Amino acid sequence: MSTWNSRGLRGSTLEDMVNRTNEQYREKGLALIQKVPTPITPITIDKESRHITLAYFEQKSTVDYIGAVQGIPVCFDAKECRTDTFPLANVHPHQAAFMEDFEKQQGVAFLLIFYSDRDQLYYLRFRELRKFLDRMDRGGLKRIHREELDASFYLPRKPGILVPYLDGIQKDLEERA
């Protein structure tokens, strides 16, 4: 059984940025993307602050975000990385399976990777992720080096939009056509 301890939430900076971006896209009528809550059962609660300090996950989560962009089903997970290598262990098998099934239903699945040391965002298409996962399953590298990524899927900063992932989706769809 997995547990969660409140010593710190990894990825919360990226999550905050994505949540704000989702609000902006919704307000502009461009997309409706929601954070998927992870069900937890509290074990210990600090009585003074009323914060959960220890809990266990009731079930495995799928992805961080799900919704629609102009009628296109979209799901994605947001990951932070402090170095130039992204550990594939950060993508759980049940998440990859969900994303694969989502794509089979004509949806768009991807990872957003925030390289915090470089302040860079990357849109990792599921089919690209699948290649790296397959390589790992065959006994190859268990991480993705930045140099292996398609440079055209780095998301350039845009004024007023913290995580311009719609640009990545548009490029992804253009390549699928």
- Does the annotation flag 3 for ligand binding? no
d(CA 115, CA 126): 18
Strand-pairing partners, residue 107, are none
Task: Centre a 10 Å sphere on the Cβ of residue 75 and count the other Cβ atoms it contains.
Answer: 23
- Does the annotation flag 41 for ligand binding? no
- Does the annotation flag 64 for ligand binding? yes
Helix (H), strand (E) at residue 170: helix 165-176
- Please, are residues 63 and 97 in contact by the beta-carbon 8 Å criterion? no
d(CA 6, CA 61): 18
- Does the annotation flag 83 for ligand binding? no
Known binding-site residues for Mg(2+) equal 62, 64, 77, 95
Known binding-site residues equal 62, 64, 77, 95
